[in-house]
C-alpha cells in the first residue's frame, strides 16, 4: 500500500512539475508577444517610415500573433495535430520577413515589389493544404508533427514535403539574409563616407541562424529517431523566436535611416557598387583627368568632407557630375572606394587641427567631430588604418609648441 501511495505521489509531483513548466513557458511567450506589440506601437509612431520600417511593422505583428497563438495552445498542442501543424507552418514566415527586412534596410529600397510576395507562397500553400485535408478525416489521420506512433496512419507524402520545406526554410533564409548583409556592407563603402551602424544586424543574423538550425535538427531527430520530446523542440523554437522579437524590436526601432540624404529628400534609390560602376560608358583618359582636377579643387576649397553625412550622390550633385563618373574617378584614378577617399581628407583635417593652436582647448573627439567624423570608434579605427598610429600617439609625437 505504501509503495502504491509513493507511486501516485511521484506521478502527482511529475504532473505538477510539468504544469509548472508549461505555465512558465506560457508566461514567457505572452511576455514576448507583449514586447512585439509594444515595439509595434512605438514603430507606428515613428515619423517618415521607410520600407524597412513598414516591413518590420508587419513582421512584429506576425511575431506577436504567432507567440500569443502558441501560448494559448500550448496545453493542447500535442493533442491537436492539425492545429499544431498550422502553428508549425508559421515558421515559414520568419525567414522571408528577415530576408526582406535586411534587403530593404541595406539596399535603401523605397517600394515593395509584388514579386516579393512569392516568398510567402510556401506558407499559403501549407495552410491551404491543411485546410483542405481537414475535410477528409481518413486522410488527415496521418498529419501530425511529432513522431508517428506504432499502428498509426502513415503521414501523407505532401505533408512530409511541407515539413521538409519548413525545416530548411529558416536556415536557408538566415544564410541568404547574412549574404545580403555582407554584400551591402562592402558596397556601402562605395557611396557612403561614414560607417553605417548595422553591427547589431551582423551579429543577430548568424547567432539566431545557428540556434534556429540546431533546433530544427533536433526536431528532425525527434521525428525520425523518436528522441527528445516535441514540446522540447517547439518550445525551443518559440523561445528563440521570443528572444529574436525583443532584439529585432529594440534595434529595429532605434535604427535610423541608413541613407539619410537620399532616402527621403530625393526619392531615389542609391545604387549599389556594380550599378554605380557600370551604369554608363566610362570616360576617356583626357576627360577623366579633367574631372579629376575638378574634384581635387572642390575638395580643397569647399571641404565637403566636413559633412559627416556626405554620400557619393550628394557630392556628385554638388560637382554637377554623374554618380557613375565620380565613382570612376575615385576608383580608377585614386584607387580607393568613396569611404576611404573622403576619410583620408578627414584624417588630414584632424592632423592639421591638432597642430593648430586655435583647437588647443578641443579634445581629440571634439576635433574629430569638427573634421567630419560621426563616432569615436570610426574615428580611431580610420585614423589608425590610414596613419598606422592612434590619434593620441600622433598628438604625443608632435614637438611641444
Q: Domain map of the chain by residue range?
A: 25-263, 271-335, 351-401
| Conformation bin of residue 320: beta by default, left when phi > 0, alpha when psi is -120 to 50 | left
d(CA 362, CA 305): 19
- Count the alpha carbons within 13 Å of 356 in the hemisphere toward its beta carbon: 12
Q: Domain 25-263: which topology?
A: Rhopdopsin 7-helix transmembrane proteins (1.20.1070)
Assigned C-alpha cell, 229: 520530446
Q: How far is CA 314 from the centre of its chain?
A: 26
Q: Give the DSSP per-residue string, 84-147.
A: HHHHHHTHHHHHHHHHHHHHHHHHT--S--GGGGGGGHHHHHHHHHHHHHTT-HHHHTT--SSP
pLDDT in the model for residue 261: 39
Is the alpha carbon torsion for 180, 186, 191, 192 positive or negative?
positive
- Stretches in the chain below the pLDDT threshold 70: 1-22, 48, 75-79, 107-109, 146-153, 185-198, 222-230, 252-285, 401
φ, ψ of residue 36 to 5 degrees: the values are -60, -45
The pTM score is 0.67
pLDDT in the model for residue 271: 45
CA nearest to 194, candidates 368, 49, 339, 332 = 339
pLDDT in the model for residue 230: 67
pLDDT in the model for residue 146: 66
pLDDT in the model for residue 100: 92
pLDDT in the model for residue 274: 43
d(CA 45, CA 35): 16
pLDDT in tens, 316-356: 889 888 888 888 888 888 888 888 899 999 999 999 999 98
| Conformation bin of residue 267: beta by default, left when phi > 0, alpha when psi is -120 to 50 | left
Amino acid at each position: 500500500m505504501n509503495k502504491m501511495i509513493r507511486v501516485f505521489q511521484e506521478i502527482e509531483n511529475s504532473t505538477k512539475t510539468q504544469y509548472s513548466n508549461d505555465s512558465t513557458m506560457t508566461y514567457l511567450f505572452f511576455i514576448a508577444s507583449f514586447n512585439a506589440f509594444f515595439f509595434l506601437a512605438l514603430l507606428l509612431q515613428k515619423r517618415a517610415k521607410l520600407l524597412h520600417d513598414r516591413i518590420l511593422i508587419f513582421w512584429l505583428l506576425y511575431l506577436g500573433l504567432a507567440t500569443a497563438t502558441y501560448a494559448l495552445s500550448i496545453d493542447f498542442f500535442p493533442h491537436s495535430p492539425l492545429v499544431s501543424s498550422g502553428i508549425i507552418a508559421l515558421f515559414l514566415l520568419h525567414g522571408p520577413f528577415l530576408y526582406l527586412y535586411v534587403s530593404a534596410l541595406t539596399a535603401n529600397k523605397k517600394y515593395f515589389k509584388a514579386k516579393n510576395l512569392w516568398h510567402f507562397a510556401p506558407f499559403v500553400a501549407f495552410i491551404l493544404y491543411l485546410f483542405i485535408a481537414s475535410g477528409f478525416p481518413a486522410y488527415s489521420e496521418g498529419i501530425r508533427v511529432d513522431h508517428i506512433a506504432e499502428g498509426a496512419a502513415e503521414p501523407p507524402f505532401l505533408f512530409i514535403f511541407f515539413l521538409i520545406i519548413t525545416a530548411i526554410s529558416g536556415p536557408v533564409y538566415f544564410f541568404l539574409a547574412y549574404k545580403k548583409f555582407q554584400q551591402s556592407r562592402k558596397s556601402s563603402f562605395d557611396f557612403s563616407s561614414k560607417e553605417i551602424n548595422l553591427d547589431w544586424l551582423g551579429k543577430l543574423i548568424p547567432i539566431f541562424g545557428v540556434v534556429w538550425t540546431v533546433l530544427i535538427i533536433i526536431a528532425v531527430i525527434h521525428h525520425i529517431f523518436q528522441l527528445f520530446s516535441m514540446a522540447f523542440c517547439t518550445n525551443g523554437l518559440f523561445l528563440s523566436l521570443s528572444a529574436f522579437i525583443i532584439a529585432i524590436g529594440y534595434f529595429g526601432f532605434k535604427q535610423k535611416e541608413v541613407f539619410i540624404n537620399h532616402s527621403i529628400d530625393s526619392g531615389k534609390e542609391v545604387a549599389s557598387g556594380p550599378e554605380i560602376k557600370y551604369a554608363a560608358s566610362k570616360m576617356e583618359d583626357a576627360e577623366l583627368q579633367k574631372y579629376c582636377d575638378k574634384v581635387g579643387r572642390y575638395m580643397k576649397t569647399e571641404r565637403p568632407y566636413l559633412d559627416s553625412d556626405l554620400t557619393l550622390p550628394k557630392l556628385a550633385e554638388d560637382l554637377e557630375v554623374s554618380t557613375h563618373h565620380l565613382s570612376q574617378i575615385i576608383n580608377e584614378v585614386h584607387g580607393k572606394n568613396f569611404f576611404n577617399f573622403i576619410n583620408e581628407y578627414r584624417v588630414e583635417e584632424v592632423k592639421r587641427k591638432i597642430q593648430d593652436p586655435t583647437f588647443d582647448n578641443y579634445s581629440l573627439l571634439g576635433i574629430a567631430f569638427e573634421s567630419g567624423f560621426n563616432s569615436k570608434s570610426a574615428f580611431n579605427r580610420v585614423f589608425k588604418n590610414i596613419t598606422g598610429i592612434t590619434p593620441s600617439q600622433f598628438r604625443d609625437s608632435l614637438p611641444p609648441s
